[in-house]
Amino acid sequence: MTHYGGAYFFHEFLQVLQVRDFLARHLAYPRRNHRYSLSQMILALVYPIVLGLDRLETASFLRFNGTFQYLTGLPSFPDPQTLRRFLHQAPDSFLEQMHRVNDRLLQSFIHRPDHRSRLIFDLDSSVVTVFGRQQKAEVGYNPRYRGKRSYNPLLCLEANSSYLWDTELRPGNAGTWDGSVELLASCFVNAPPDIRELRVRADAGFGFNPVLEILEARAAQYAVVARLTQAFKRLLPGLRYESVNKQWEMAEFDHRSHGWPH
């Protein structure tokens, strides 16, 4: 049995959802080489990610794995150069198409198996270290590989489903909340119209006025970790705390940060 035999069940899942037909109907990318259909090329990029193969070169051995090709229904697997050329030559309009396709799939999947009336968006950022001269990678906050170039992708995940609702690839030196306003606006627009309640959670890195303003404008319920400014710290000793357990005590109070109009 092949190490990647579980790919068969993923293939069956895609078959049930008719993903290949869906991609063929909603994507257009004129190419000279038609050995692989557009949907086959997309799935050839998806399968290695699902299998935990994070590099195109690492996925090249799938070309010689007949069992994998049989399980997935792919007559053959594109070589890394073909996949790389497919990505490099893709026009900007294709990226926009992929974004729209992803949005449509999310709007459909979020109601499976049960209809949902509430979404919880979690804002976060991550660090992806690179070891070459990749485009737009920069030196920034990188606790594991200090001084190495990296990306700092901005992520918005739907908490209950763990779906990646939207993302933006940023250079490693990007500020925590850079691009958050635009990302949130996109997430709100792509929420299904029958969703009645939106909640947003974020850590202190997103606690800046532009982010909070869009949350207020959208009338979303939100919880953003407060930044521990000096003025804020001076309030903490005078609070009345109640014991939660042997390790934690809790206090509740109202505070309006300087310049915050709401």
Rounded to whole angstroms, the Cα distance separating 237 from 9 reads: 56
Together in a domain, 81 and 128: no
User: Which of 60, 93, 126 lies at the terminal end of a domain, its last residue?
Assistant: 93
Tokens of 231: 């003025």
CA distances from 28 to 80, 93, 112 (A): 22, 9, 28
The CATH number of the domain holding residue 188 is 3.90.350.10
Rounded to whole angstroms, the Cα distance separating 176 from 141 reads: 10
pLDDT, position 3: 65
Which residue, chain included where needed, has tokens 């109601």? 111
User: Which of 93, 127, 147 lies at the terminal end of a domain, its last residue?
Assistant: 93
Rg of the Cα atoms in the chain = 23
pLDDT, position 182: 95
Share in percent of the chain as helix, strand, coil (round to 5): 40, 15, 45
pTM: predicted TM-score of the whole model, two decimal places: 0.84
pLDDT, position 200: 97
Together in a domain, 141 and 83: no
Whole-angstrom distance between the N-terminal and C-terminal Cα of the chain?
A: 61
Together in a domain, 142 and 221: yes
Together in a domain, 221 and 131: yes
Q: Count how many domains the chain has.
A: 2
Rounded to whole angstroms, the Cα distance separating 206 from 227 reads: 9
User: Which of 61, 93, 125 lies at the terminal end of a domain, its last residue?
Assistant: 93
Q: Taking the mean position of all CA atoms in its chain, how far away is CA 146?
A: 24
Helix (H, G, I), strand (E, B) or coil at 26: helix
pLDDT, position 33: 76
pLDDT tens per residue, the chain (262 residues)?
556 667 888 888 888 889 989 999 999 988 887 888 899 899 989 988 888 887 888 877 788 877 777 777 777 888 889 999 999 999 989 999 999 999 999 998 899 888 999 999 999 999 999 988 888 899 999 999 999 999 999 999 999 999 999 999 999 999 888 999 999 999 999 999 999 999 999 998 898 889 999 999 987 899 999 888 888 888 899 999 999 999 999 999 888 776 677 6
Contact predicate 75/60, CB 8 Å: no
Closest CA relative to residue 201, chosen from 127, 257, 118: 118
What number of other Cβ atoms are within 10 A of residue 224's Cβ? 18
Closest CA relative to residue 94, chosen from 29, 172, 24: 29
pLDDT, position 140: 92
Assigned domain for 172 exists: yes
Assigned domain for 262 exists: no
Together in a domain, 84 and 132: no
Together in a domain, 123 and 224: yes
Together in a domain, 197 and 156: yes
pLDDT, position 262: 67
Contact predicate 142/129, CB 8 Å: yes
What number of other Cβ atoms are within 10 A of residue 124's Cβ? 15
Rounded to whole angstroms, the Cα distance separating 140 from 187 reads: 26
Contacts of 201 (CB under 8 A, 6+ apart): 120, 121, 122, 123, 159, 222, 223, 224
**Residue 161 structural domain:** 117-230
Helix (H, G, I), strand (E, B) or coil at 22: helix
Together in a domain, 139 and 195: yes
Together in a domain, 130 and 60: no
Contact predicate 20/43, CB 8 Å: yes
pLDDT, position 149: 94
pLDDT, position 31: 84
